[in-house]
Structure 1
Amino acid sequence: MDIIRGSGNVFRDLGHPNADREQLRALLAAKIIGVLDDRKLTVRAAQEMTGVAAADFSRIRKASLGRFTIDRLMTILASLDQEVEITVNVHPRHATAPAALHP
């Protein structure tokens, strides 16, 4: 069995265009889901609390993020009384594939 070490971004590993953007959206969505779970909020209760449509919370729970911008996800987190802090590191991309490890 070969073990392949990923890059830390599954979208990049699978060759998705805009992989970094997709990764950030997935991370923000995961944080939203975590807040809902921690507070035991239904999508309807979250709607009442934030004014964000219950259908949007349902889409986030299903990881159907196509219609959400990073800004929109950050706004939803803010409406859930969360402070979002993002650190950006910029460096040249490496064209190499993830390294394979053999047991």
Structure 2
Amino acid sequence: MKKNAIEVVRGSGNVFRDLGHPDADILQAKAILAARIIGILDDRGITVRRAHELTGFAAADFSRVRQAKLQRFTLERLISMLLKLNKDIEINIEVKSRRHDSHVSA
């Protein structure tokens, strides 16, 4: 039986960047916020209907977050959902030069 060679590739830490999405950083931020929302709902045993009652956001919005259907959501909206779930938010932004963009043209 012949074994296939497995190539191991170290990821960047952002699966969306690794897959070549042009808006990888935004997608990653949305995924992190959605994961936090899902974690809060799960930890507190909150249904999507109860989340609607607590926050005023539609139950369908929480269902979309649970299904990782985040296309309709802005970062601001996801942050607002977390705030309505009584969570404080701290955002750290680090701006770095891209490896392939050593200069910016005007």
Dislocated runs of 4+, deviation >2 Å: none
What is aligned with 1:84?
A: 89
Q: Equivalents in 1 of 2:60, 2:13: separation in Å?
A: 30
**RCO higher in structure (CA 8 A, sep ≥6):** 1
Identity among equivalent pairs (%): 58
1:49 paired to 2:65: no
Correspondence for 1:58 among 50, 56, 63: 63
- Matched residue pairs, number? 95
Q: RMSD of the alignment, in Å?
A: 0.6
Unaligned runs of 5+ in 2: 1-5, 101-106
Q: 1:13-57 deviations in whole A, cap 9, x for unaligned? A: 000011000000000000000000000011001111111100000
Unaligned runs of 5+ in 1: 96-103
What is aligned with 1:94?
A: 99
Give the TM-score taking structure 2 as reference length: 0.88
Question: Which structure has the larger Rg?
Answer: 2
What is aligned with 2:19?
A: 14
Q: Equivalents in 2 of 1:32, 1:81: separation in Å?
A: 11
